[in-house]
Amino acid sequence: MNKSIAIIAIHGWQGDKTSLQPLTNSIGENNIKWFLPQGPYSAKEKGFSWYGGSTETKWEMDLSFDLMNQVVSKASDQFSKKDIYFLGFSQGAVFTFHYIVKGTDTFGGAIPIAGFVPNKYRFESKGFIQKNETPFLILHGTEDTIVRPEGSKIMHSILDNSGFDSNLVIYKGGHKIRLSTIKHIKSFIFK
């Protein structure tokens, strides 16, 4: 565990830039530089979102892509892209999936936790092709009633069928990042 890396931690719906702060302490490595951006859209009742709009008005994520490009640029000033990792929880996992599969840059890895694939037909079509070599570690709790584990299973299947290196770990737990998942995260980023 002697290499230095950057982790861009992407919060879930109604979260903010402090939502994943406890995770930084749980992982507890001194050689990790954390970037904790905040979704640019209001989540209405409270907090922030990575997607704006609605099903009726169409979902948009242009501001999120612009923000993430700025965060990646800042991280790239200090780290090579192969040493930059994305970790997204819930809606942040969905955005992590979107950001990586739509881009051409290869990063060290992507870790979507408790996510799903909206409009999966877009990613199962002949037009969806692997554009980079970023590996994925997908994590999901068996008792998650907010986002069912099937969402991550679909994400894994889509990635696997498209040629991405994708690993799926289903663990005991609900819609949370459990301490037991830390060993999987560390093993993936410090392989």
pLDDT digits (tens, 9 = 90+) for 70-86: 999 999 999 999 999 99
Supply angle C-alpha 88, 186, 19, rounded to 5: 35
Distance, in Å, from the CA atom of 191 to the CA atom of 188, rounded to the nearest integer, reads 5
Q: Evaluate if residue 110 carries a pLDDT over 80.
A: yes
Nearest to 87 by CA among 16, 136, 153: 136
Residue type, 182: I
Q: Say what the pLDDT of residue 127 is.
A: 73
Nearest residue to 16 (alpha-carbon basis) of 46, 45, 44: 46
Q: Report pLDDT for 2.
A: 65
| Whole-number average pLDDT of the chain | 93
pLDDT-derived band at 44 (thresholds 50, 70, 90) equals confident
In terms of pLDDT, which residue wins out, 2 or 186?
Answer: 186
Residue whose pair of structure tokens reads 């501001």 in the numeric block? 63
> What pLDDT score was predicted for residue 112?
98
3-state secondary structure of 134: coil
Pick the CATH number of 5-189 from 3.40.50.1860, 3.40.50.1820, 3.40.50.360, 3.50.50.60: 3.40.50.1820
DSSP 90: T
| pLDDT of residue 174 exceeding 80 | yes
